[in-house]
Amino acid sequence: MNSAAFWDRIAPRYAKQPIADTSAYEATLARVRTYLGSEDRVLELGCGTGTTALRLAGDVLRYTATDISSAMIEIAEEKRWADGAGNVTFRQGGVTPAEYDAETFDAVLAFNLLHLVPDVGAALATVAQLLPRGGLFISKTPAIGEKWYYRPMIWVMKPLGKAPDVTFLTVPQIDRAIAAAGFEIIETGLYPPSTPSRFVVARKR
């Protein structure tokens, strides 16, 4: 099963799940908002069912949100119509430059995504191409490589179709990969620290 098929299959169930840690989620949104401006053009990669996009869209001029799963985008569109957000565009898409037709953005966001892409370096290179010098990349990534028990758990779940392909990233690996892609890291955090989930704000050099 490829990644898109996996997320298409679980999309209805995913949409019904409550946010696992609301305090960490709200803390993340609060930090993100401090970097967004009313004239910004924002791209969110791996937007899922659009919850975060609709929470942040009111802070910016234009918000484009993509996901590889057509089922996730369909649910996000339903939410957009119910919300009435006129400056949000949801569309199916991955993390390759060709999918964005030379578009540029003031900020690119990626929440709970980097551990799911097949090539972290290539994904970050795409992000860098989509930003001008000084543009922001804001991400939060579960550093599941920090906890030994995630490996056997996912190895058991994956053949059963209950887990996607993942990369077992650690906090230092996440930070190094972002810096190596041509970014200066200007803020970091762990929201929540228990996973840990690494929050990084980085500016393109």
DSSP of 29-75: HHHHHTT--TT-EEEEES-TTSHHHHHHGGGSSEEEEEES-HHHHHH
Domain of 135 in residue numbering reads as: 3-204
Q: How much is the pLDDT for 162?
A: 77
Check which CATH number belongs to the domain holding 91 and give it.
Answer: 3.40.50.150
Q: What is the value of pTM for the model shown?
A: 0.94
- The total domain count for the chain is 1
- Residues 40, 36: Cα–Cα separation, whole Å: 7
Structure tokens at 119: 């090539």
The closest alpha carbon to 46, from 147, 103, 127, 159, belongs to 127
Lateral strand order in the sheet of 183-190: 88-92, 62-67, 41-45, 107-111, 136-142, 197-204, 183-190
Task: Return the number of other C-beta atoms located less than 10 Å from residue 177's C-beta.
Answer: 18
One digit per residue, the tens of pLDDT, for the chain of length 205 reads: 578 999 999 999 999 999 989 999 999 999 999 999 999 999 999 999 999 999 999 999 999 999 999 999 999 999 999 999 999 999 999 998 888 877 889 999 999 999 999 999 999 999 999 999 999 999 999 999 998 888 888 888 877 777 788 999 999 999 999 999 999 999 999 999 988 999 999 999 9
DSSP string, 176-197: HHHHHTTEEEEEEEESSTTTTE
